[in-house]
Structure 1
């Protein structure tokens, strides 16, 4: 998932608290689901809900590697490779429901401990995401928060786009826009929120997109159910 290095070190502790609350919400949803519900298809093509949860667990392991990199300065890639990452997600998804939820809980707790222990110099250091984007160590809590919130919606078990906090959604929208703009990938759009003062223009802004900040994020992420109003030529958003 494309992301941004935007969080500043002085927001790190607050983001950690938000991450803990978001993780607790996702875990509560997962624990309430039946095995049949977890085995059913998610909105993500080719993935069951169990795949979504397995990915959440693998993401925690990957971010632990980046936390190690930030702390030690020794290059520690997030994943061993795309094929291994995909295989690990598939393997995790085949666990029974209780074991899968336990893996989500345990890996999240281990990551929380790693992030909490990062010293100031690690927060200021630089690591490299799976897609090659370089981010400061201070961004790791934000990266995890966004992963948790987005994939909680992907479980499609009652937590939806409208449940995203506007402040979270704005931070995520601005992060995506910043990265895509820096790579000259953002189409000519004007993105305007109806519930915050978010208003950003790319190029000619030939296409206007309006909606709540949360639904704008859902649209940018290509999630079903995003309720936005488009005026102007159709646009192709960058792949995530």
Structure 2
């Protein structure tokens, strides 16, 4: 089972890093475009706050979001708030999530996430960590994929590689990081393509970030096209 205690500690640390960085912005910077097409930095902070509340719903046995439309409307509604309100919302919603996660509970139970996806409760803290870390990068304020903790990068690569495993539209693919770590993704069978690069570059491709794999090298064929996240 995943070490949820370790992951919750990492969530606290990552949230503090993000809020420390955001505190250096101003209202004008918050209204600027982020690295996610169509979203300002305010959209990202609003999403992080509402995602924390949605994961509280998950822990308490409610639907993560009432609907996809309601989720999107809440983010849009909250995206234009001034920096002080945004920062307080991110902090307080994170505190609510951590308070619920710190309570005694059955971490081996299955919970339902967005779109009917299910997972073990023990994996939810890492899912929250992914939101905080990757969206910190998406803010485009100096925190990059290369700055992510090595352990986090490896786990997220493994998670995304598993997500595309068994998908017939993705050829059998080996992933080789320059630090010696390896992963496997795509359809079954002997790897037809090997994709090589730094762990940050591999994560950029799998998560649809930065150059989306342009800096990677491949042998055995072109860089595979991945389904949308």
Match of 2:161 among 177, 197, 210: 177
2:125: which partner in 1?
Answer: 141
Question: Match of 1:135, SS?
Answer: strand
Query: What is the CA–CA distance in structure 2 between the aligned matches of 1:196 and 1:31, rounded to whole Å?
Result: 37
2:21: which partner in 1?
Answer: 29
Matched positions, count:
224
Summarize deviations over 1:24-49 as a string: whole Å, max 9, x none: 11111111112111110011111001
Which deviates the most, 22-31 or 152-161?
A: 22-31
Query: 2:18, 2:132 within 8 Å by CA — same for their partners in 1?
Result: yes
Question: Match of 2:175, SS?
Answer: strand
Q: Does 1:66 align with 2:72?
A: no
Q: Does 1:166 align with 2:137?
A: no
Query: What is the CA–CA distance in structure 1 between the aligned matches of 2:197 and 2:27, rounded to whole Å?
Result: 35
2:222: which partner in 1?
Answer: 233
* Structure 1 residue 101 displacement after superposition: 1.1
Summarize deviations over 1:57-102 as a string: whole Å, max 9, x none: 1110111101112xxxxxx111010110000000110111110111
Query: What is the CA–CA distance in structure 2 between the aligned matches of 1:185 and 1:130, rounded to whole Å?
Result: 24
Which deviates the most, 196-205 or 164-173?
A: 196-205
* Structure 1 residue 184 displacement after superposition: 4.7
Match of 2:81 among 86, 95, 111: 95
Query: What is the CA–CA distance in structure 2 between the aligned matches of 1:17 and 1:115, rounded to whole Å?
Result: 11
1:210: which partner in 2?
Answer: 196
Summarize deviations over 1:3-30 as a string: whole Å, max 9, x none: xxxxx24x11111111111111111111
Query: What is the CA–CA distance in structure 2 between the aligned matches of 1:142 and 1:41, rounded to whole Å?
Result: 27
* Structure 1 residue 215 displacement after superposition: 2.1
1:131: which partner in 2?
Answer: 115
Summarize deviations over 1:91-121 as a string: whole Å, max 9, x none: 11011111011100110011011111142x2
Q: Which has the higher contact order (CA 8 A, sep 6+)?
A: 1
The TM-score, its normalising length taken from structure 1, stands at 0.87
Which deviates the most, 217-226 or 145-154?
A: 217-226
Query: What is the CA–CA distance in structure 1 between the aligned matches of 2:88 and 2:205, rounded to whole Å?
Result: 32
Query: 1:127, 1:134 within 8 Å by CA — same for their partners in 2?
Result: yes
The TM-score, its normalising length taken from structure 2, stands at 0.91
Larger relative helix fraction: 1
RMSD between aligned alpha carbons?
1.7
Query: What is the CA–CA distance in structure 1 between the aligned matches of 2:122 and 2:168, rounded to whole Å?
Result: 25
Question: Match of 1:124, SS?
Answer: coil
Query: 1:60, 1:107 within 8 Å by CA — same for their partners in 2?
Result: yes
Question: Match of 1:181, SS?
Answer: coil
Question: Match of 1:131, SS?
Answer: helix
Matches for 1:48-87 after TM superposition, within 5 Å: 48-69=40-61, 76-87=62-73
* Structure 1 residue 201 displacement after superposition: 5.2
